[in-house]
A and B are shown apart, each in its own frame.
Chain A
């Protein structure tokens, strides 16, 4: 080859890689999926992608790999922009060596994560692979180990987001698990540590991949998935939307995106959303939608631990993390899964300078043998720890009730809430007024002429003196009682006031969150 032919030859080689294997691409499309390159085009700003290590191939030549090996080694990596903001990403390519993870493939992924960490930009990983490349043996598991190390080093430094767009098995599932958010696709994406074949071999149980680790399972039962999309395109849109709420790294504030929604806007019809009767359930997401800019609330894990709601919204353009009791499910009580879900979210918000707003209507921790034996003590403790540890602005609104220890677990002033408000119908206590009166006046009620009237009178007295809004404001439990309609306006005022909050904690290597 003469020197003048080299650039031409390189260009032709790159062009061939970009074009890909028509046969394999058709197979991918037949499954209703996009290819790695199409996914990258869909998520990044047009023309912004810069590919790296495109022509890398595996060093392994055993078991016929010398002839079968192909450029990219089954993963497309590089950087580009989303809404003009830089991100680093990798997309496993099912059309090249089935996206199998060889050592070079794994090294490319580690490089993406390490570089993103150094330059302070989010990492997006798009997973679609047949699994580890068996021919490369120990080299592969070693290189995958390096990915875990890279994920861990980047944790809390830059946002890490995983899209599971195919299968993700064995040890590969732990890289997404070490990232901050996992997005899956209905019907095509699966995650499991040991697949159906191994389950059958070891335990003799027949189970399909979908039953074992499909999107529905991870969205509803295991809590592994944060959001499930109907197809690849929607999944990539959701990842882009999530990123719009986040800063690029832990040293930046999230971008402010004013939406033209009046910060002074009063809420209409909130009384219709939250019933006065404490026994009636309602959907807290309807209230959150009223509060945030343009009703745009991005809920995460909507189908897991439904008794607590988490997600992002904006207030006057500022990204805000919401944690809210959901009275519609399990009366909005706190159980193990709800504690896991919320505490992880709070810690994410804290890591990335996102204020946390907590809306409380909690009857207590969920009682029972099952919860106690599974360790509600250590799991519930995560809630306390996460709120206590967080130094971002924390604002809490008590909507209706806060009973028992669960009240502290939802960020009271003692737990570090910078601003705390109560609605006028609030009831705060060790236990509800009705329960307290039954205990305190057991004897008197037996002898009272009109037991019903006596009981009601005592409930009213107890409520006014100890548990209602008057008690909340006179005992400085709350900064103020709010008219429900003012909630958005007051939250925005408080949020703006807290923007420059800075709070130092004692120096240490790291705290020890209960697990």
Chain B
């Protein structure tokens, strides 16, 4: 089952750090958001392989929006 990586905060996508197909450890930074004038690292909730990244730099995202899927 895929694990969803969700936005911890409402903000703008600054950078997609991990691409689909890359393997990640728990707590690896997957995406950088910008919110409250700061870079907010979004980390992997579990180890696995990035299945899909649903956002691109510049996108605005709501809090708890699904940003990527890990398998």
Which of A's residues lie within 8 Å of B, judged by CB? 278-281, 327-333, 363-364, 366, 368, 370, 432, 434-435
Contacts and interface: CB of A to CB of B under 8 A. Distances in A.
A328 B41 contact: yes
A365 to B, nearest CB: 10
Given A368-B10, A368-B63, A333 B36 contact: yes
A330 B41 contact: no
B9 interface: yes
Contacts of A328: 41
A192 B54 CA distance: 36
Given A333-B36, A368-B10, 14 more contacts: A278-B37, A279-B34, A279-B38, A281-B39, A281-B41, A328-B41, A329-B8, A331-B9, A331-B40, A332-B38, A363-B36, A363-B37, A434-B37, A435-B37
Interface of B: 8-10, 34-41, 63
B29 to A, nearest CB: 10
B36 A364 contact: yes
19 contacts: A279-B34, A279-B39, A280-B38, A280-B39, A281-B40, A281-B41, A327-B38, A328-B41, A330-B35, A330-B36, A330-B40, A331-B35, A332-B38, A363-B36, A363-B37, A363-B38, A364-B36, A366-B9, A370-B63
Nearest to A277: B39
A279 B37 contact: yes
Contact of A278 (B8, B35, B38, B41): B38
Nearest to A363: B36
The 10 closest A-B pairs by CB, nearest first: A331-B36, A331-B38, A363-B36, A330-B9, A279-B38, A279-B39, A281-B39, A333-B36, A281-B41, A280-B39
Nearest to A432: B37
A330 B37 CA distance: 11
A21 to B, nearest CB: 41
A267 B62 CA distance: 39
B32 to A, nearest CB: 9
A370 B9 CA distance: 12
B19 to A, nearest CB: 22
Contacts of B8: 329-330
Nearest to A330: B9
B7 to A, nearest CB: 11
Contacts of A330: 8-9, 35-36, 40
A231 B13 CA distance: 40
Nearest to B64: A370
Nearest to A280: B39
A327 B37 CA distance: 11
Contacts of A432: 37
Contacts of B10: 368
B38 A281 contact: yes
Contacts of B35: 330-331
Nearest to B10: A368
Contacts of A278: 37-38
Contacts of A333: 36
Nearest to A368: B10
A366 B41 CA distance: 17
Contacts of A329: 8
Contacts of A332: 38
Contacts of A368: 10, 63
A459 B34 CA distance: 21
A331 B42 CA distance: 11
A438 to B, nearest CB: 12
Contacts of A281: 38-41
A462 to B, nearest CB: 15
A388 to B, nearest CB: 25
A61 to B, nearest CB: 53
A206 to B, nearest CB: 18
B1 to A, nearest CB: 15
A305 B1 CA distance: 27
Nearest to B40: A331
Contacts of A364: 36
B59 to A, nearest CB: 18
Nearest to B35: A331
Contacts of B34: 279
A331 B32 CA distance: 12
A325 to B, nearest CB: 11
**Most chain B CB atoms below 10 A, which of A278, A329, A331, A368:** A331
Contacts of A370: 63
A278 B34 CA distance: 12
A278 B38 CA distance: 7
